[in-house]
Structure 1
Amino acid sequence: MPSSIRRSSAGLGREIRGLADGIYRHDCLGLAAQVAYSSLFSLFPFLLFLRSLGSYIPGAERAGDWILRGLEDLISKDSRLYQIVAENVFDEIGATSAALLSVGVVLTLWSASGAVMTLIKAVNRAYDLEETRSWFRRRPMAAAMAVAGAILLPAGILLLVFGSWVGRQIGERLGDDSILYILWIGLRWPVVFILLVAAVGLFFYVAPSERQRWFSVVPGALFSVAAIIGVSIGLSWFLSQNVFQVRWLTYGVIGTAIVLLFWAFLIGLMILVGGEINAAVRRTVVRREQTRRGLLESTDND
């Protein structure tokens, strides 16, 4: 084996060991559990907010029907999760008051910003940075990032939910050989991926106490989004198995809560690992720059 390949392999192994050590030292598993708890806690007031908001939006009931039809492309209509969403959210849209709308907004922002605060703490640990911003600055920033994520992430999810339905409508009206249909089929998934990368990359860009360059956060964002999609597909496949369907019917709502909590844990963990990757890339770049400077200085001295 050539010496250059051996050096590259040794360097790659060193980086992987450093990444694994960072994940362990910075307690990414424990922080991901905190993120999952705060995220799941924010889900229920958010659903309450959606139900209350329906009373102020004309045609909200019809929009709920559209969303349910779109969900049928992602999860089975006979599944327990679909039934819970349909029975507890969309069947009662518009049935609550303005007071519940306000409570839902406040609780959602508080819980979601708590999850973002945990992610900020984890990213600072990954970069070995001390938090220099005050709580009064971090909390509004976390709430703003939660709102930004609540805009970008649902935009990507809506493309997933309604994408196949829109594609069918275009195909029926214009034909399967139309340019618009071909573009829609070809660009749907790349657009979803770009939206998700933008959301995660925006977080990695502003979360550390020291501002990062945009391109320096792209590797971690790419990994996080790809890993989130991968674990989501894997979890969806696992839940679709007949054996688990029987277990799910046995445990009912408790089983649904466990699955949602585990899914949120995996998403949080993938984001934290993405932050560790960005930190590892930054350390590698700094180390190479220091080595290059040392070589230049030694050359100048000679």
Structure 2
Amino acid sequence: MLRRGRDRSVALVRVLGHEVAKDRVAGLAAEIAFFAVLSIFPALLIAAGLLSYLEALVGAEVAARTEARVTDALALVLTDRGAPVLDSVQAVFSGEYGGLLTVASLGALVTLSGAWAVVVQALNLAYDSEEHRPWLRRRLLGLGLGLMTVVVVVVALAVVVVGPLLGRGSDVADVVGLGGAFEAFWDLARLPLLFLVLVGWLALVFHLAPNRRTPWRAALPGAVATTLLWLGASAAFGLYLRTLGEGNPLLGVFGGGVVVLTWMYLLALALLLGGELNALLHDGKHRPREVSSGTR
């Protein structure tokens, strides 16, 4: 049994490498990363604009804490080279630029739809599916996936940072005398909940994007693998910024942009690898050829 499992794993890795090369995954990931870099800043402004409405729902203190978490995360990703972007995001939080959100929305719609249109194309290649859907339908699908991405980010921030029941969960726990236990539980549940949100969203992407309908369960292996790769790549990226990024003369003037582009490329590559994995597992291409005893 162990040998059979090992053979299947080796066959999976071998065939996955072949499919990745055949479907030009590395090149398509670079194309997605390019569109992602173009859309990341207007998309962040949209997310910041949506989060600015949290104050009316959860109060100024919770909204300020969420804003601080968002800006801290952006500062970690963009370092000091992203100061102008951080200033713009903070201005949107404060409601200074109402028109800026509209302009950013228009720019993000175009670039987000372009990036996700490439994802749709790449997943069709992974599943060996010909694309028969009209061009407009594919662009609308890409646009929908892009907007869904922004909404998922906002919801994840609202749930993980603010907490359940829009931050009122602790109040409910205090009423029933479980305040301390609730805080301890929620501290432990934040990251697993974020993991589940990402897996659910990626499963939806893998189910809807290719021009081929598969069972929902067939989307889960790639969704889990992509989420793990994303978390690992993000952790490594943060480690790089903390150890090698600051003060490195090789980064030069364009260092921040290059680092962000590289990060987007790694995320796109992980997404496409997840799609390739789903396609292989669903079609059974990874299974080693066996000769049954009845044919000998």
Q: TM-score range by the shorter chain?
A: 0.7 to 0.9
Map Cα deviations across residues 83-132 of structure 1 (whole Å, 9 max, x no partner): 3443233146534454x543322221111011111011111101111011
- The CA distance in 2 between the partners of 1:277 and 1:221, in whole Å, is 9
1:29 to 26, 31, 37: 26
CA contact (8 A) 1:80 1:249 kept: no
Which residue of the partner structure matches residue 205 of structure 1? 207
Change (3 A) 1:52 1:186: closer
**Root mean square deviation, CA, Å:** 4.0
**Does 71-80 or 152-161 show the bigger shift?**
71-80
**How much does 1:235 deviate?**
0.6
Cα deviation per residue 1:182-221 (whole Å; 9 max; x = unaligned)? 2201211111011111111100001111111100110000
Q: Partners in 2 of 1:118 and 1:78 — Cα distance?
A: 25
Aligned to 1:188: 190
The alignment of Structure 1 onto Structure 2 pairs a total of residues equal to 285
Q: Give distance in 1, aligned partners of 2:216 and 2:47.
A: 34
> Does 2:224 align with 1:222?
yes
Residues 34 and 285 (structure 1 numbering): CA distance in 2 closer, same or farther, change over 3 Å?
A: closer
SS in 2 for 1:247: coil
Q: Which residue of 2 aligns with 1:246?
A: 247
Return 5+ residue gaps in structure 2 as ranges.
none
Q: Aligned AA for 2:115?
A: A
User: How much has 1:255 moved relative to structure 2?
Assistant: 1.9
| Cα distance in 1 for residues equivalent to 2:68 and 2:245 | 24
Q: 2:180, 2:52 → 1: CA distance?
A: 40
Q: Distance in 2 between matches of 1:104 and 1:178?
A: 42
Give the equivalent residue in structure 1 for 2:283: 283
1:83-122 paired onto structure 2 within 5 Å: 83-91=83-91, 93-96=94-97, 98=99, 100-122=100-122
Q: Quick one: structure 1 residues 279 and 51, their matched pair in 2 at CA, closer, same or farther if it must change by over 3 Å? A: closer
* CA spacing shift, 1:222–1:34, aligned 2, 3 Å: same
| 8 Å CA contact 1:73, 1:161 repeated in 2 | no
Give the structure-2-normalised TM-score.
Answer: 0.79
Partner of 2:138: 138
Letter in 2 for 1:154: V
Name structure 1 gaps, 5 residues minimum: none
Q: Distance in 2 between matches of 1:66 and 1:114?
A: 33
TM-score by length of 1: 0.78
Q: Which has the higher contact order (CA 8 A, sep 6+)?
A: 2
Identity %: 27
Q: Give CA-to-partner distance per residue, 1:162-181, whole Å, 9 cap, x none.
A: 67xx99x96xx979981211
Moved over 6 A (4+): 50-64, 173-177, 285-288
